[in-house]
Structure 1
Amino acid sequence: MRRRVAIGFLGTTLDMGRGGRWQRWRPTVALCQQPDLFIDRLELIHGTGSAAALAAQVTADIGDVSPATEVRSHVIDFKDPWDFSEVYTSLHAFARGYAFDPDREDYLVNITTGTHVAQICWFLLTEAHFIPARLLQLSPPKDRGEGGSVAGSHSIIDLDLSRYDAIATRFAAEREDAASFLKSGIATRNPAFNTMIDQIEKVAIRSRAPVLLTGPTGAGKSQLARRVYELKKAQHQVSGAFVEVNCATLRGDQAMSTLFGHVKGAFTGAQAARAGLMKAADKGVLFLDEIGELGPDEQAMCLRAIEEKRFLPVGADQDVASDFQLLAGTNRDLSVAVREGRFREDLFARLNLWTFRLPALKDRREDIEPNLDFELRRFSEREGQNVTFNREARDLYLAFAMAPDAAWRANFRDLSASVTRMATLAPEGRINEQTVRDEIGRLRQLWVSGEGDASPDRMLQTILGAERLEAIDLFDRAQLAVVIEVCRESASVSAAGRELFAVSRLQKTSGNDADRLRKYLLRFGLAFEDLTPTPNR
Structure 2
Amino acid sequence: MKKTVIIGFVGTQLDNARGATRWERWRPTVALTQHEDFIVDRLDLLHTDNAGRLVKEVAADIAAVSPETAVVPHLLPIDDIWDFERVYAALFDFAKRYPFDPDREDYWIHITTGSHVAQICLFLMTEARFFPGRLVQTSPPRPQGNGPGQYTLIDLDLSRYDQIAQRFSREQEEGVAFLKSGIATRNARFNALIEEVERVAVRSRAPMLLMGPTGGGKSFLARRIYELKKTRHQLDGKFVDINCATLRGDGASSTLFGHVRGSFTGATSDRPGLLRAAHKGLLFLDEIGELGLDEQAMLLKAIEEKRFLPVGSDTEVRSEFQLIAGTNRDLGLEVRAGRFREDLYARINLWTYELPGLAERIEDIEPNLAYLLAEHGRENGQQVRFNKEAREHYLRFATSAAAPWTGNFRDLVASVTRMATLAESGVITIATVTNEIVRLKALWRHAGLAPAGDVDLGMVLGEDAAAQLDLFDALQLRAVIGVCRQSRTLSDAGRKLYGVSREAKAKPNDADRLKKYLARFALDWEAVQV
For Structure 1 versus Structure 2, the TM-score category normalised by the shorter chain is 0.7 to 0.9
**Counterpart residue number, 1:163:** 160
Does 2:383 match 1:386? yes
Does 2:180 match 1:179? no
Does 2:357 match 1:360? yes
**Residues 159-181 of structure 1: per-residue CA shift (max 9 Å, x gap):** 33443343333333333332222
- Summarize the Cα distance change of 1:159–1:388 in structure 2 as closer, same or farther, 3 Å threshold: same
Does the 8 A contact of 2:48 with 2:79 survive in 1? Answer: no
**Residues 416-457 of structure 1: per-residue CA shift (max 9 Å, x gap):** 11222222233333334444344334333433444499xxxx
**Counterpart residue number, 1:115:** 115
C-alpha displacement of 1:73: 5.4
Query: What amino acid is aligned across from residue 6 of structure 2 in structure 1?
Result: A
1:126-205 to 2 correspondence within 5 Å?
Answer: 126-144=126-144, 148-205=145-202
**Counterpart residue number, 1:39:** 40
**Counterpart residue number, 1:84:** 84
- Summarize the Cα distance change of 1:406–1:24 in structure 2 as closer, same or farther, 3 Å threshold: same
Structure 1 residues without counterparts, runs of 5 or longer: 454-461, 469-524, 532-537
RMSD: 3.5
Query: What amino acid is aligned across from residue 8 of structure 2 in structure 1?
Result: G
SS of the counterpart of 1:427?
Answer: coil
**Counterpart residue number, 1:416:** 413
Does 2:289 match 1:288? no
Does 2:17 match 1:14? no
Q: Which residue of 369, 374, 379 maps to 1:372? A: 369
Structure 2 residues without counterparts, runs of 5 or longer: 451-481, 490-524
SS of the counterpart of 2:31?
Answer: helix
Query: What amino acid is aligned across from residue 33 of structure 2 in structure 1?
Result: C
C-alpha displacement of 1:365: 0.3
**Counterpart residue number, 1:302:** 299
Which of 1 and 2 has greater Rg? 1
Counterparts of 2:55 and 2:293, CA distance in 1: 72
**Residues 280-338 of structure 1: per-residue CA shift (max 9 Å, x gap):** 22222222222233334433433443344333333323333333232222223334444
**Counterpart residue number, 1:25:** 26
Counterparts of 2:338 and 2:44, CA distance in 1: 68
**TM norm structure 1:** 0.74
**Residues 248-290 of structure 1: per-residue CA shift (max 9 Å, x gap):** 2223333332222222122222221212222222222222222
**Counterpart residue number, 1:320:** 317
C-alpha displacement of 1:90: 4.5
**Counterpart residue number, 1:74:** 73
Counterparts of 1:348 and 1:292, CA distance in 2: 10
Counterparts of 1:259 and 1:215, CA distance in 2: 23
Does the 8 A contact of 1:333 with 1:467 survive in 2? Answer: no
- Summarize the Cα distance change of 1:218–1:139 in structure 2 as closer, same or farther, 3 Å threshold: same
**Counterpart residue number, 1:489:** none
C-alpha displacement of 1:367: 0.6
1:460-475 to 2 correspondence within 5 Å?
Answer: none
- Summarize the Cα distance change of 1:409–1:96 in structure 2 as closer, same or farther, 3 Å threshold: closer
Deviates more, 1:374-383 or 1:77-86: 77-86
Deviates more, 1:270-279 or 1:116-125: 116-125
Does the 8 A contact of 2:175 with 2:198 survive in 1? Answer: yes
Counterparts of 1:328 and 1:47, CA distance in 2: 49
Counterparts of 1:141 and 1:236, CA distance in 2: 39
Identity %: 57
Query: What amino acid is aligned across from residue 290 of structure 2 in structure 1?
Result: E
Does the 8 A contact of 1:181 with 1:227 survive in 2? Answer: yes
Counterparts of 1:346 and 1:58, CA distance in 2: 58
Does 2:232 match 1:235? yes
- Summarize the Cα distance change of 1:401–1:465 in structure 2 as closer, same or farther, 3 Å threshold: closer
**Residues 57-84 of structure 1: per-residue CA shift (max 9 Å, x gap):** 6743x566x4554352526375332233
Does the 8 A contact of 1:182 with 1:201 survive in 2? Answer: yes
Query: What amino acid is aligned across from residue 32 of structure 2 in structure 1?
Result: L
**Counterpart residue number, 2:211:** 214
**TM norm structure 2:** 0.75
**Counterpart residue number, 1:264:** 261
